[in-house]
Structure formats: structure tokens, C-alpha cells
Amino acid sequence: MLESRIIAAQSDDNYIEKMRFEGDILSEVDITRIEFESAQFIECQFSKCNFSKTSFYNSVFDNCNFANCSFMESYWKGSKMLKCKGDGGNFSQSHMKETSLEGNSFRYADFSSSVLENCTIRDCNFTEAFLSEIRLKKTTLKAVNFTGADFFKALLGGIDLSDCIIDRIAVSDTCKELRGL
């Protein structure tokens, strides 16, 4: 059902609203530039799908797998990702506002040059993730594992990492990323 809605949206207005997708399995599907409003993705599996420049407003991903998918330059507002697997995903240059990430795995994911604003990240795994040049604005982090993550040129001032695992994180030789933590 999801794939047919995507095809219809691509040939029409690139807009999908108030739809629930449960148990859908998609592989190598081009989902670029689609705008999702109040969409729910429940236990969906995405393999090598391209979500680049896609927007998600008030949408929910619950217990989904989108490992190794591309979300480059995606936009998220008022959305939630719950118990999802995004390992190896590319979220570079994405923008998340008022979005909640809870219980997700983003091992080896690329969030470089992304902006997370007024977001909540709780019980997530960002082990070995690429977070270079990321901008975190008024973002709350609780029990997040950043072991081995790359924070090169990240803007972390004002962020509380005291409840997070930050073993072996990579920063610049001046450690300027750590000022104001």
C-alpha cells in the first residue's frame, strides 16, 4: 500500500496526509521530495530506500527498520521515531525541529551538518556515528550512547551530555567543540 501511495504522490502533488502504513516492506524505492503530514509508519521495513529531501510533519515511525537508507536534506517537525533501527543511515544536512527520538539505533549513521532544534533524544545508540558540524539547539539528551562518535566542528555549547556515554568521541585538536557543555 505504501509503495502505491508513493507512486501516486510522485505523479500528483508529492503529498501524503493522515495515512497509516503497517508492516510495509520496501526495497530500493525512490521516496525523494515526498511530504508526509500526520503519517504513521508501524513496523515497516525499508532497504536502501532514498528519502532525500523528504519532509515529515507530525509523523511517527514506530519499530521500523530503515538501516542504510538515505534521508539526506530531510526535514522533520513535530515527529517521533520510536524503537527504530537506522544504522548506517545517511541523515546528513537534515533539519529536525521539535522531534523526539526514543529507543533508536543509529550506529555508524551520518548526521553531519544537520540541525536538531528543540528535540528530545532518549535511550538512543549513536555508536561510531558521524556528527561532524552538527548543530544542537535546545536539544535534550538522556541516556544516549555516543561511544566513538565523531563530533568534529560540532556546535555543542549549552548541551548537557552528563547522562550520556561519550567514550572515545572525536573532536578537533583544540577541543573547541566541548566549550560550553
Q: Using H for helix, E for strand and C for coil, what is the string for the chain?
A: CHHHHHHHHHHCCCEEECCEEECCEEECCECCCCEEECCEEECCEEECCECCCCEEECCEEECCECCCCECCCCEEECCEEECCECCCCECCCCEEECCEEECCECCCCECCCCEEECCEEECCECCCCECCCCEEECCEEECCECCCCECCCCECCCCCCCCCECCCCECCCCCHHHCCC
What's the structural domain count of the chain?
1
Give the model's pLDDT for residue 128: 98
Give the model's pLDDT for residue 6: 96
pLDDT-derived band at 126 (thresholds 50, 70, 90) equals very high
Give the model's pLDDT for residue 139: 96
Give the model's pLDDT for residue 156: 87
Q: In this predicted model, what pLDDT tens digit does every residue of 64-109 receive, in sequence order?
A: 999 999 999 999 999 999 999 999 999 999 999 999 999 999 999 9
pLDDT surpasses 90 at 140: yes
Domain containing residue 30: 1-181
Give the model's pLDDT for residue 157: 85
Rounded Cα gap, residues 173 and 113, in angstroms: 19
pLDDT surpasses 90 at 180: no
- Give the CATH number for residue 78: 2.160.20.80
Give the model's pLDDT for residue 181: 81
